[in-house]
A and B are shown apart, each in its own frame.
Chain A
């Protein structure tokens, strides 16, 4: 069927099967490959996106659920994501990098809802995302750094 997806502020007219998960519509139909496939069953967070600001595992929602909503992916830009990117860079966080799109989106969602998260907040928010390379220590630190960077700038 023909639908419209709004991703990072751009509208995409696409043709999809109605039961297709949002992940594959983003990757294979729209062609934005920054959002990753890791498990397909809501276990790893590699496919994380924001749908109308809500953290969503795109492998596990139908593309139809995202119609007429605003989808935000790692290719997008937001204030919090920018600070997080800077902190990820300062902390040299990624190893293979594959999980980091999902990690950054999950962290963006965290900062969107909690201005100054504690370690505990971070553990809760980020434990749905697996990093097989094991960069957790750095991710945690980078989230704190992003908050600091933000406070310095504002």
Chain B
């Protein structure tokens, strides 16, 4: 293994990033439900409590206190990294994010800051119920003052966590639990923390630009590969950072791909962040064809896997809809 690299799956990458931040930044704290002694319900924080002692601890099932104490500790110079076990559980404590964390810097004219990171995970997985399946990134994107990221690869999971912890704004990093135990990959771990933001071009082709983030990126890439195999290659831009969002990269690409844009996310369509991306492209005047939005229809998420599968965009549906877009003009 080359120096400065490790071979890990997604959860191992998050663990390594947390390890690095706790080691390099003595002002960091890590806490949440089951994160310390048990090492997290998904095992992501395993070993950190042993290594870092009382800076890593378990909390009661008290999301308001978890988030609110992170805000207060951050105002006083700590860099808390806290976990909300499921994004759905954010909803019992949103006040601390929206009314509190997001306002600290603004109202104090920058004299106070709230440099905290909230780690969470979301989305549907086999048989998950309606209260454990939602994709809530748009809530946070709609809140000025918060930063939002949704990685999909071990390298991004690592880099984004390191950048988020170093960032002086409150950052929400949203994983998808179906990614945690994916295949191991070699990732680079010795780069200095990057500034937040940016995007990746995952595939190139003139047919259209597909913009996506989070776990569904993998399906989008599969769909793009199918389209390429059928002779219509398209461009895939993954935007793991939603705030700040790499608007320029998207606009440039749309202009180069015939003004054809498709956005794909697992969240439901109405007022999803994809709508924002489409509007930015429309405002910039780069659209030459009606854009395509692919997401879950506006419904609750059922538990039965067959029912959920009928709602959550799969590779097939994504490829078909984008093929239709490529065929326009």
Asked if chains A and B come from one complex, the reply is: no
Q: Measuring CB to CB, which residues of chain A are less than 8 angstroms from any residue of chain B?
A: none
Q: Measuring CB to CB, which residues of chain B are less than 8 angstroms from any residue of chain A?
A: none
